[in-house]
Chain A
Amino acid sequence: MYIVIAGGGKVGSNIARTLIGMQHEVTLVEQRRDRFRQLEGEFGHSAMLGDATEIAVLERAGIARPPDLVLAVTGDDEDNLIISQIAKEGYNVPKAIARVNDPRNQETFDLLGITETVCATSGLLGLVEHEVPEHGLVRLLELRREGLEVVEVQVLADSPAAGKRVVGLSLPEGSRLVSVMRNGVAEIVEDETVIRPGDQVVAILKPGAEDKLRRALVG
């Protein structure tokens, strides 16, 4: 595959190294001259100096071929948005993935049609929530394009669902229980499965149903 990576910081340079190791053709664009010199030392002609939000720079990077994939992973959300938009809307790049630095900007990426995003901060926050049980419900996976998410709920002794069969639970519309993790073993949920205190229940649901699901399971 031909891949253009915009932003040669820690994220961009590590991805470039891995992709080149996998025999992909990569162009790594970095606008800071000092950083570029280092990248050039390692990546040779695969490194390019320039501001990837400039159309002429993207063209030199081969945006018109077009690449199979563009990764917009600079430290600036506006730049990542612009790079992704130019790639997708100007040059029909089949896939552009953008890094979201500030999770508050996620909404803006969605609004501007940049649906494939990665946000390290949100990912880390999700892991933190996972370690803090009082949050009740933890998002494990967000399937943005499908409009679904996978969550985990910890059932407690006083939870309304404790001791009940799954078929007898009144779950919110647009949600379904998938599995229960009990004593370190995961089981697929059936109608007759009985929810017990201490169970970690994995559910799939439509965004917006989280609170109702939490109430139905843990009160």
Chain B
Amino acid sequence: MKAVIIGCGRVGSAVAKQLAGEGWDVTCVDEDENALARLGAWKGGFVVGHGMDKDILEEAGAAAAQAAVVATDGDNSNIVIGQILQRRYGIDCVVVRVLDPARAEFYAKLGLRTVCPTQTAISTLTEAVRACETGGIRQVTG
């Protein structure tokens, strides 16, 4: 199984290593050649370039991929690249990181599999505060 990872930052590189460890054939794309260092001893592919660039996506093997993760540092780039991977290369499993909850929800409705870490943080933090509050009230009343 082949996966392409667009954006090899902290998130992209960690996902890449995880998938490679599970037996996927992984190729990463990043504009910065130094991003390769994040992958450690890397046996997979690595292409330097922009994920909007057709030549770069083809070099990374997008046409043969079953899965793609898009996690560059720009929401709008991620959304556009995600749609290119879906529509031009017909990749069924395209997962796109979108930090803005509103855009993540909007594009999820349009059929893009968006993951919003901000929304996750909001939910987790709210839950954490609720948990403290419950404990506090118990202490006072108990």
Contact = CB atoms under 8 A, between A and B. Distances in A.
Contacts of B84: 108, 111-112
A107 B83 CA distance: 13
B69 to A, nearest CB: 18
Contacts of B103: 53-55, 82
B76 A81 contact: yes
A86 interface: yes
B106 to A, nearest CB: 6
Nearest to A81: B80
Interface string A78-97: 11011001100110000000
Contacts of B76: 53, 76, 78-79, 81-82
B7 to A, nearest CB: 13
Contact of B106 (A86, A107, A112): A86
A89 B54 CA distance: 25
A105 interface: yes
Interface in B97-128: 100, 102-103, 106, 110
A56 interface: yes
Contact of B110 (A56, A89, A104, A107): A89
Interface residues of B, number: 18
B54 A112 contact: no
Contacts of B110: 85, 89
Given A111-B87, A112-B80, A78 B102 contact: no
- Chain A interface residue bracket vs B: 20 to 34
Query: Quick one: which of B76, B87, B88, B110 has the most chain A CB within 10 A?
Result: B76
B44 interface: no
Contacts of A89: 110
A56 B101 CA distance: 11
Contacts of B102: 54-56
B136 interface: no
A46 B80 CA distance: 29
A60 to B, nearest CB: 13
A112 B87 contact: yes
Contacts of B83: 111-112
Contacts of A82: 76, 79-80, 103
A81 B54 CA distance: 16
Contacts of A86: 106
Nearest to A107: B54
18 contacts: A53-B76, A54-B103, A55-B102, A55-B106, A56-B102, A76-B76, A77-B52, A78-B74, A78-B79, A78-B80, A82-B79, A82-B80, A85-B110, A90-B106, A104-B54, A108-B84, A112-B83, A112-B84
Interface of A: 53-56, 76-79, 81-82, 85-86, 89-90, 104-105, 107-108, 111-112
Interface of B: 52-54, 74-77, 79-80, 83-84, 87-88, 100, 102-103, 106, 110
